Structure 1
Amino acid sequence: MSQSYEMIFILRPDLSEDQVNQALNSYKEFLTTNNATNLEVKIWGKRRLAYPIQKKVDGIYVQFNYEADGTQIAPLERMMRLGEEVMRYLTIRLDTVAPSSEAEEKEGAEA
């Protein structure tokens, strides 16, 4: 069963644009070859960190949204941990959107 996931990771601020694109392409390629669908990539750009990480105060924030069965998460996070370009990462499973409860409230008010 497919679930929706959101992954946010922070790349080192000293990476060139080519290095950033190369890292993003390798992660996107990994997800697509491992049956992830509806992959959306949002590059937030360079931002100030809340606290220094690896003696750096800035980072390049990137967000991936995708649908998958969950078997891709551990290998992808391992790739990020072993690579030197990612400083931090976080993957969360998004709740599936339930039907609107407003419709149910209207039905209850009419009865």
Structure 2
Amino acid sequence: MNIYETMFILRPDLGEEQVNQAVEKYQNLLRDQGAQEIEIQNRGKHRLAYEIKRQRDGVYIQMNYKGNGIFVAPLERSMRLSDEVIRYLTLKQEEPSVKPEPAEVEA
């Protein structure tokens, strides 16, 4: 089971209800594909570093979830075809590796 993070930016002219509907749509898409432990964080409206699709601001949403990688492609395809999503990015997070500490040798 892998851990994924998807960050996407919605158009700033969307109302709060429309933002919630978009987030719920992608959350349901992930859930239907078998993702687990879906966490949503609405990061709010921020200024973009550069203009994207004639927009200077955007609403940032972060989703963290667990599962296998088969649901990433349908999620990104849905976001690519959506008019409300300006930009998106999905990352596979590395599992934290626990290294055993070297044993101290007593002389």
With normalisation by structure 2, the TM-score equals 0.94
For structure 2, the residue ranges without an aligned partner over 5 or more in a row are none
- Root mean square deviation, CA, Å: 0.9
SS in structure 2 opposite 1:22? Answer: helix
Q: How far, CA to CA, are the matches of 1:86 and 1:68 in structure 2?
A: 23
The structure with the greater share of residues assigned to helix is: 1
Q: How far, CA to CA, are the matches of 2:32 and 2:52 in structure 1?
A: 31
Amino acid at match of 1:3: N
Aligned ranges for residues 14-29 of structure 1 at < 5 Å? 14-29=13-28
With normalisation by structure 1, the TM-score equals 0.91
**Percent of pairs with identical residues:** 47
- Quote how far apart the aligned CAs of 1:50 are: 0.3
Q: State the 4+ residue runs in structure 1 displaced beyond 3 angstroms.
A: none
SS in structure 1 opposite 2:59? Answer: strand
Q: How far, CA to CA, are the matches of 1:96 and 1:38 in structure 2?
A: 16
For structure 1, the residue ranges without an aligned partner over 5 or more in a row are none
